[in-house]
Structures are given as structure tokens and as C-alpha cells.
Structure 1
Amino acid sequence: MSIAHYESFLLNNVSTISTLESSLRSLTWFLPGRFKDAELASETLSASLNMMSMYHDTLLARIVQSDPKYRPLIPFSLHTRFTRAWADKNSRYKWAARMLETIRFTELVIEMGLRRKVSAKNRYRGIIILELIKAILRFILLRITRRPLISPPIPERDIDPTTLPSSTETSPTLAPSSPPSSLPETPDHLKNNRVPLPQHTPLAVPPPPRSDIGIEEYLLPKALTTASVKPPLSLVRSYSSPQEWLSEVVYILRPLVYATLLFSDRKSNRPLITILAMELVSRSLRRNVPPSATLERSEYAKRDRDMLWYLFRGTIWESYTR
């Protein structure tokens, strides 16, 4: 019942979503170092905020879908179109993606709790279980889509809550989130006033600045691309060869293999070298993506950038980066 009241409050005051989230997010900056286990409390609050943001995104999507007249000021991104299409098409994809994001939001809190409460051996066992669950969920997504996994697998927020129309019902404690539709009537003593006021110089609208940009350079960013007119499910091409499948399978298994090797051997370089080799193997088996596949190219570029984090791991950090 309380969840229904909370949803009703947000649906009637959609502009308060950003205010609520930013207020809670600011608390995470002040908690660390304030008291014992403040870091754990701050990370717990941050994880809860991420979970709440994911829940708010579902409410915002519900508002957009219920209003056929709504048109966003900025078109939805390719990532949002692709992930939302799969979430609407397949319920298993939707719940597997949400579970995967839930684990991603809370895994650091779980690891911090395990570090404080259990032994190192049991802590690594818990981490292996987390990575095993994540790998299973990723394989479920891979089986459903038969395409490279897009990160994150759920739609990102491309909607400004303040631009959404609120419900006709308003909260008794807050002012309505949108201004009244009709302007107040003109007073009687001003209705016959036909004398225009002289235009004051500071209030005059300055002429638009002249630009030296050519017409083609101005219109090119506004032109539609092939990805803009493609169906959402066709933005990423499905796998067609065993080599492409093997590349994605190796990429999915990396974290699980790393956690398993750390459980048995935490002092040598073998875990780090193994997953770095798996990363390079997955990259070498990756298919060549045409320039028109914008979403898939951006995902692969993100994976390549993530390889820089190896400079801050293990012996690479201790002997080289630092």
C-alpha cells in the first residue's frame, strides 16, 4: 500500500524525482570519515540511490508510454532504443537485465560487508558466487538476443522529469509541478489601454550573431543517419559464426575466471595474466564492425577503454603504474 502511495506521489509530481535523487546523492559526499563504518553507510546509500533511480526510470517510462502525445525534445539514444525494445519484447530479458544491474549496484556493499564479517576464504567464496550469478545472467541475455551484450543492459534515463506532464491530481503538500494552463485575466482598468510603451534600450533584443559556418556544416549534424531510421532490434546484428560466439563467451567468463584464480592463488601474477590474455583473445576474435553499426562500435570502444583499468591492478600497479 505504501508503494502505491509513493508511486502516486511521484506520478503527480514528476519534477520532484530529480530533486529527491540529488538530495540523497549529496549525502554520500559527507558521510565518509564522519563515524565508524561511515564508508559502508555511504556505499549502502549510494547503492540504494542507484536502485531507486532504476525504479524511477520504470515510472518515467510508464508515463511516457501512457501519453501518446508526448514527444521528447531530444530523440532517444540508440542504446535506449535497443535495450527498451528488447525489454518490451521479452520479459525474461527485462528481469535478467534488472537483476544484473541490481547485483552491479550492490556488489561493492556486499564485498565490504563480507570483508568485515567473514574470513578471507569465505569472502572470496562469496565473490565467486556473485560472479557466477552475473555470468549466468549474461548468458541468459546472450541466448535471448544472440547479439553482443550492450552495457548497461537496461535503458538509461534520456528523459528530463521536469518536461513530463504531471497528473491532474496534485499533492496536498507540494505545489503543482507545472504552471496553470490558462493565464490570469487582464484587469478591467488595463483592457482599454492601447498606448504601447516605448522600448527600452537594454530590453531590446540584440540581432542574431552572424556565423561563418556553411550550410552543409550546419545541416550535417541534423541529418538522419542509417541508425536513426533502423528498427531498434536491428541496431546490432546477430551473431552468425562460432568465432563471434566464442569471442563473447570468453568476454563473459573473464570475471568468474579471475575470481576463481584469486581464490586459489592470490600472491602470483597468474590470475592477472590469465584474464588479460582472455581479454586479448576476445578482442582478436571480435568481428569487424561496419561504420554504420554505431551502437556496436561504441560498445566495443567502451570495452577497449576499460582495458586501461589493468594499469591499476595487482603487480602492474605496484611495479609499473605507481
Structure 2
Amino acid sequence: MTASIAHYESFLLKNVSTISTLESSLRSLTWFLPGRFKDAELASEALSASLNMMSMYHDTLLTRIVQSDLRYRPLIPFSLHTRFTRAWADKSSRYKWAARLLETIRFTELVIEMGLRRNVSPRNRYRGIILLEIMKSASILSFSFLKLISFNYRAILRLMLLRITRRPLIYPPIPERDIDPTALAPSTDSSPTLAPSSPPTSLPTTPDHLRNNRVPLPQHPPLAVSPPPRSDVSIEEYLLPKALTTTSVKPLLSLVRPFSSPQEWMAEVVYISRPLVYATMLFSDRKSNRPLITILVMEFVSRSLRRDVPPSASLERSEYAKRDRDMLWYLFRGSIWDSYTRPKLSSIAASFSSMPILALFGTVMQDWIPLIDEYYYYTAP
């Protein structure tokens, strides 16, 4: 088994650029599969989940190679997100495995829901969704608390990460791929322990008529290149982007400040609990607006309770900005989707059908609209 893994790692290193291109191409293909044939959405999500799992495994191998060989160290530092999450993964094995399991659930949850929809009743399908949300949300508190709620899993994983770091969760909790595949191309140099297969050839001699030809001829005035225009950028403006910032020298685990008050803890716990509360309320009441209104209230409560972030805390600011942008997903949930967003998208897709190039996008849009109606995890919080 170890030899097979070693062979695969060698194959990955030699073909990393080709494999990355293939992963990207197949991932783009999954957007156009739904609606092409029966159960195309299941095939699309199964392919997408497999690609994501394979990419996570490849990232682990590439990170190990980069850390063990100085030749592959990048000249440009990794992003703050990668540095922070990798520092926590290196420090705590519990964080590393909880983060990987959380991402595994995120990659496969839609495939699991599709399988449940085809084999069990709608009520049991929502029981499965609630079980996944419990797995994703509840593991952030304490391990003694986990013994009391061992049936809660997705929430459990998030609460576990929260308890380990005592900081706002950064999504995704695992490092993203910041490695340039072309920089990992294997060297073509022969091994220094092997004798050369052929004696080195001598350098070609310089012809006699070029040996002393070192003084360039003056250019003809019409062909002379004009000097470059003088730049108006000052030296300070040129050097400022290249200067070290506080985040460049700050310890990696301090890129996000720990919580310092119960209010900050409450804001994060409320934010983590939203998906579990939403799925639980949908299980008992899928026709009213109460589930949507409840998680909207929880969203704004969490936003109002969270702490003010200084401009220097760029990683935490980017995470909160991402959470604010994710509020656009409420346009695809509940009564907002039924009464406003879906009619708008249907009319846009219908108007695209008469246009030569845009008709393709209209067809894809019409194929995706029923999937949002049928499956929870396409637009889940």
C-alpha cells in the first residue's frame, strides 16, 4: 500500500499541471450536465464531489512536497487564509481532522440528499438533512458537551473548531491551493550519481569575423528608439506595496484575535446555529415563512453582536465581508425565491431563448431552476 502511494505521489508530481487542468475542465463541465439526461444532476454532483475530494487529497500531497523541498518554496508568500489555517492544522491534529471532515461533508452533502430523495420519503430525507447539519454545526463547544449531543455532527464539527481556536471561524477551514502547478515541474537534470551517457561536447567556437565585434553600430536617426517617458510615480508610491505590513511579521496564530467577551462568543454560536435551526424548522413547517424569517433574524443578530474589526485585521475583515455577501443567497430561499427570484429568472431565461448565443445560458438556467426547488443543499445556509 505504501509503495502504491509513493508511485501515485511521483505520478502526481510529474503531471501536476496536467492534472490541475483536467480537474478544472471537469469541474466546469458539471455546470452543463443537469438536464442533459436522466439523473444528470446526480451524475454532476457525484463528479463534483469526487473532484473536490481528489483536489483536497492532492493539496495535502503538494503541501507536503513544498514543505520538504526548498526548491519548491514560492517566491510570493501564501495568502493569509492559507497561512492561518495551515498553522492551526500543524498545531492541532483535532483541528486538522475536524476541518477535513467538515469539508468532506460539505463536498458530499448534496449527493447524499439526492440519494435520500430517490430512496426514502420526504420526511426521512429532512431527517437526514438535519443529521448532517447537526454534524456540521454543533462540535464547537466542548468535548464534555459532545458526549451529551453525540448525535449532532456537522454543527458539532464547527463547534469543535470554535472551541479549539477560540476565534471566529474562517471558511473554508482548510488551506486553499496557493501552489502554482508549473512551479512543481520535475527537474530534467540527470542524477549526480550516474555517469553521463555521452561525453560533454565542447562549446562552439566563435567565428573570426565576430570575435572583436563588441562595439555596436550607431543607430540611424529614423530608426532610433525614443527614450522611455519619465514616470510620475514617486519612490514612496513604488516602494509602499513592497513594504512589510503588520500581518507579514505577526505570528500566524495571531492573524485572528481570540474572543474576549461573551458577546463575541454568542455572535459566533448564533451564526453557526443558523443552518441547524433552518433545517429543523423546515422539517416541521415547509409552507410558512417562519423558517426564513427566523434565520434572517439570527443573521442580523449575529451581525450586530460581532465585534468591530480594526483595519489591520485583514483576514477577519475578509471573512466578515464574505458572510455579508453570502446574504444574497436569501434570494434563493423560501418565499423570496417562490414569489420574486424564480419568476424573474424564468422570464430572463425565456427572453434569452430567442438570442443565438444567450440561448445556451437560458437553457442552462431553465435546467437549474427545478433543482433549486427540489433540493435543499443547492441554496442551504
After TM superposition, is the score higher than 0.5?
A: yes
TM-superposition CA deviations, 1:190-209 (whole Å, max 9, x none): 576535798999xx999656
Specify whether residues 110 and 206 from structure 1 end up closer, same or farther in structure 2 by C-alpha distance, changes over 3 A only.
farther
The 1:295–1:205 alpha-carbon spacing in structure 2 relative to 1, beyond 3 Å, is: farther
Map of 1:74 onto structure 2: 76
Cα distance in 2 between the residues matched to 1:3 and 1:24: 24
Q: Secondary structure at the match of 2:70?
A: coil
Identity of aligned residues (%): 82
- Determine the structure 2 residue equivalent to 1:127: 129
Residue from 229, 236, 243 that aligns with 1:223: 243
Give the superposition deviation at 1:116.
2.2
Pair 317,222 (structure 1): closer, same or farther in 2 beyond 3 Å: same
Match of 1:254 among 253, 264, 274: 274
Q: Deviations over 1:131-168 (max 9, x none)?
A: 01101000110010000000010011111011125367
Residue 233 in structure 1 maps to residue 235 in structure 2: no
C-alpha offsets along residues 225-279 of structure 1, whole Å, 9 cap, x if unaligned? Answer: 1111101001011111111111111111100000000000000011001111111
- Equivalence map 1:56-135=2 (5 Å): 56-134=58-136, 135=155
- Opposite residue 82 of structure 1, the aligned amino acid is F
User: How many angstroms apart in 2 are the aligned matches of 1:56 and 1:205?
Assistant: 50
In the TM superposition, 1:1-322 aligns within 5 A as 1=1, 2-29=4-31, 31-134=33-136, 135-164=155-184, 166=186, 188=204, 194=211, 210-321=230-341, 322=344
Rate the CA distance shift 1:8–1:198 in 2: closer, same or farther, 3 A.
Answer: farther
Distance 1:117 1:3, change over 3 A: farther
CA distance in structure 1 between the aligned counterparts of 2:115 and 2:84, rounded to whole angstroms = 36
Of the two, which has the highest radius of gyration? Answer: 2
1:94-125 residue CA offsets vs partner (Å, 9 max, x unmatched) = 01001111111111111122222221101101
Measured at CA, do residues 60 and 35 of structure 1 come closer, stay the same or move farther in structure 2, by a change above 3 Å? same
TM score, norm. by length of structure 2: 0.73
Deviation per CA, 1:9-52: give whole Å up to 9, x if none: 11344333323323433542553333211221111111111111
TM-score w.r.t. structure 1 length? 0.86
Kindly state the Cα deviation for residue 223 of structure 1 after the two structures are TM-superposed.
1.9
Task: Measure the CA separation in 2 of the matches of 1:312 and 1:248.
Answer: 24
- Pairwise CA distance, 1:289: 1.2
> Residues 282 and 291 of structure 2 are in contact (CA less than 8 Å); yes or no, is this contact kept in structure 1?
yes
CA contact (8 A) 1:14 1:166 kept: no
C-alpha contact 2:82 2:175 (8 A) present in aligned 1: yes
> How many residues are aligned here?
308
In structure 2, stretches of 5+ residues that fail to align are 137-154, 191-199, 345-381
